[in-house]
Amino acid sequence: MRPMIALVLLLGCRHATIPLDTGRARPHDSAATDTGDSIPTVSGGVCTLVRSGSPYTTEGERLSVGWSCAEDPAAALGLVDVPLGASFEGNTLTWTPGLDQAGRYDLEFTAEVAGLGASAATSVWVADAWADADNVEVDPLAYSDELGVPVLNLEVPPGTNYTTDTAASLYWQGHEYTVGVQYRGASSASYPKHSFAIGFDPADEFDAPGWHKRRNLNITSTFDDNSYLRQKTCYDLWSALSDTHPVFQTMMVALYLNNQYEGLQLITDHIDGEWEQDNGFSEDGNLYKAIDHSANLDTRYGGSRKSSLHQGYEKKSGDPDDWSDLDELVTFVATSDDATFAAELDSVLSRDDFMGWWVFVRFVDAGDSGGKNSYLYHDPTDPSGIWRYTPWDFNHSLGQDWQTIRVDANDSYDYSGNNTFFERALADEALAADLNARMRAALDGPFHKDAILARLDADYAQVDAEARRDWQKWKPQYDDYWGWRGDLESYDGEAAYLRQWVSDRWDYMDGAIGP
């Protein structure tokens, strides 16, 4: 038997081992993946497959994509199975897929390089032609990848609303789930592109590679962000800031509603008891959601005494009638003397969480999230239990507010007006030094502009084709809904604005914090 050579596919500036695949050229039934960071060698040889042309097309549109071996450009490649209606000549696949051929197609290549044989696989993607009047609906069980992004298909019945679960079906990676569905959102409730809350049968939880299984899931509209990546980037930056932070999972998906293309959306965890357990907390602890700006960890809001110390919060788990622990936290933060506040801080709350909260919202300039749009967790039955924080909702971030209005990268607001914890920490010399040291470490580490821009580049490499497809569908409604602004950008313009804002924000914060 001849030794085999490992072939490697170069995708942009990345490289990844192509797994051996002996299947036929057909729509694939699992999420697209691209892993690996080294070029392996077998028997001393490597053939590096170099791709020319995009591997993405839409039904009815011509695809022409070629491959060659970098070490031996003259080497002829063979394609084991050619998709129906396609041709493969001169190392180039040419194809105009029909209106019933949407899917991911795995292609197995063979090659001869320096007398050695090799076999490896790559993929091409054919997207559903949703805008064609003669389009054939996708099969929700079979159509699970689109342009390199996993597909989630949700069948939403008439009567779906914002208050009660409606029975529905959700299709994910070849599996059908029976779920309960509601629309979700506050300011986003008027968007033509909806967000959803999904509840799963505990015996059949949502299952995705690399995720904890989930009984509840959120689907978040990208209609207020035509860069598409603000929310995901914020959540990922929070996770990157410290490995002790409670985190939740994110994934960009192509959403179909009733087999009709809806567009690029973000799916995330729903913060609940299951999430608490996955972060090492008790499911029976108290979980509070800050729903408006009066959730400021103070006894007063807007110049007046609050109706209760827990005004501005909803209780999501624990005894619904017992708010005593949250009231005690507010009392400590708002009324303890300076010496007590500094001395007892670490016995009351997670310094890493709460100071990280300030570092996080200050850098991404999340004006709606310094007090509001947060979750606080506490287990009153745990004698050593301290308060924990996790963030939520970032349509106001990274250069825009919740109405998509531009926010200057040189914004100097320090968030002391949103949160009395921030105000007191900034007023204490030692605590302020700790805050600035944490910001400095973030600026030199996960919040460095090079690190964030690399993160954006990697995410755009995955979603770019799908984002353009979404923009094609939603641009008219986007222009109509947000047109009063007068400074709207296209998808390309907004993605460029986001990158520039990140760079400018780092420069500003670098100067503001100092060495």
pLDDT score recorded for residue 4: 30
Query: Mean pLDDT, to the nearest integer, of 45-52?
Result: 72
* pTM summary value: 0.87
pLDDT at residue 118 above 90?
no
Q: Scanning the structure block, which residue is given the tokens 């801080």?
A: 345
At 68, is the pLDDT very low, low, confident or very high (cuts 50, 70, 90)?
A: confident
Among residues 441, 454, 449, 451, which one has the least CA distance to residue 507? 449
- Which range of residues forms the domain containing residue 56? 4-127
- CA–CA separation, 96 vs 84, rounded Å? 10
| Angle formed at CA 209 by CA 246 and CA 256, multiple of 5 degrees | 100
Residue 307 neighbours by CB distance under 10 Å: 10
Question: Could you give phi then psi for residue 285, rounded to 5 degrees?
Answer: -70, 175
Residue 502 neighbours by CB distance under 10 Å: 24
pLDDT at residue 9 above 50?
no
Contact 108, 119 (CB under 8 A): yes
In tens, the pLDDT along 380-401 reads 988 888 999 999 999 999 999 9
- Picking from 127, 157, 174, the residue at the C-terminal end of a domain is 127
- CA–CA separation, 466 vs 149, rounded Å? 7
First to last CA, the chain: 62
Cross-strand pairs, 290: 313, 374
* Strand residues in 130-274 grouped as ranges (E): 145-146, 149-155, 166-172, 175-184, 195-200, 216-220, 250-257, 260-269
Greatest Cα pair distance, the chain, in angstroms, is: 83
Residue 338 neighbours by CB distance under 10 Å: 11
- CA–CA separation, 147 vs 125, rounded Å? 5
In tens, the pLDDT along 325-338 reads 999 999 999 999 99
Q: Scanning the structure block, which residue is given the tokens 């505990």?
A: 202
Query: Mean pLDDT, to the nearest integer, of 376-381?
Result: 93
For residue 396 the two structure tokens come to 């106001």
State the sign of the Cα–Cα–Cα–Cα dihedral 183, 185, 191, 197.
Answer: negative
Could you tell me if residue 174 is left (phi over 0), alpha (psi between -120 and 50 degrees) or otherwise beta?
A: left
Number of domains in the chain: 2
Output the DSSP codes for 256-288: EETTEEEEEEEEEE--SHHHHHHTT--TTSEEE
Q: Scanning the structure block, which residue is given the tokens 């979750």?
A: 375
Residue 486 burial class via C-beta count within 10 angstroms: exposed 0-12, middle 13-18, buried 19 and up: exposed
The whole-chain average pLDDT of the chain stands at 88
CATH of the domain at 108: 2.60.40.10
Say if 475 falls within a structural domain. yes
Query: Mean pLDDT, to the nearest integer, of 88-96?
Result: 95
pLDDT score recorded for residue 174: 94
Say whether 438 sits in a helix, a strand or coil.
Answer: helix
- CA–CA separation, 500 vs 496, rounded Å? 6
In tens, the pLDDT along 404-438 reads 999 999 999 999 999 999 999 999 999 999 999 99
- Picking from 74, 109, 127, the residue at the C-terminal end of a domain is 127
Virtual CA dihedral for 33, 36, 41, 47, nearest 10 degrees? 50
In tens, the pLDDT along 192-221 reads 999 999 999 999 999 999 888 999 999 999
Among residues 51, 41, 50, 49, which one has the least CA distance to residue 5? 41
Say if 382 falls within a structural domain. yes
* Strand residues in 293-386 grouped as ranges (E): 300-301, 304-305, 313-317, 374-378
Amino acid, res. 38 = S
The one-character DSSP state at 350 is -
Could you tell me if residue 222 is left (phi over 0), alpha (psi between -120 and 50 degrees) or otherwise beta?
A: alpha
In tens, the pLDDT along 210-250 reads 888 999 999 999 999 999 999 999 999 999 999 998 877 89
For residue 506 the two structure tokens come to 């780092």
In tens, the pLDDT along 289-311 reads 999 999 999 999 999 999 999 99
- CA–CA separation, 127 vs 32, rounded Å? 14
| Angle formed at CA 61 by CA 57 and CA 65, multiple of 5 degrees | 50
Say if 484 falls within a structural domain. yes
Say if 150 falls within a structural domain. no
- Picking from 127, 161, 176, the residue at the C-terminal end of a domain is 127
For residue 154 the two structure tokens come to 């949700």
- CA–CA separation, 415 vs 422, rounded Å? 7
For residue 440 the two structure tokens come to 């400095």
pLDDT score recorded for residue 58: 96
Query: Mean pLDDT, to the nearest integer, of 44-50?
Result: 61
The one-character DSSP state at 21 is -
State the sign of the Cα–Cα–Cα–Cα dihedral 195, 293, 479, 59.
Answer: negative
Say if 481 falls within a structural domain. yes
Say if 300 falls within a structural domain. yes
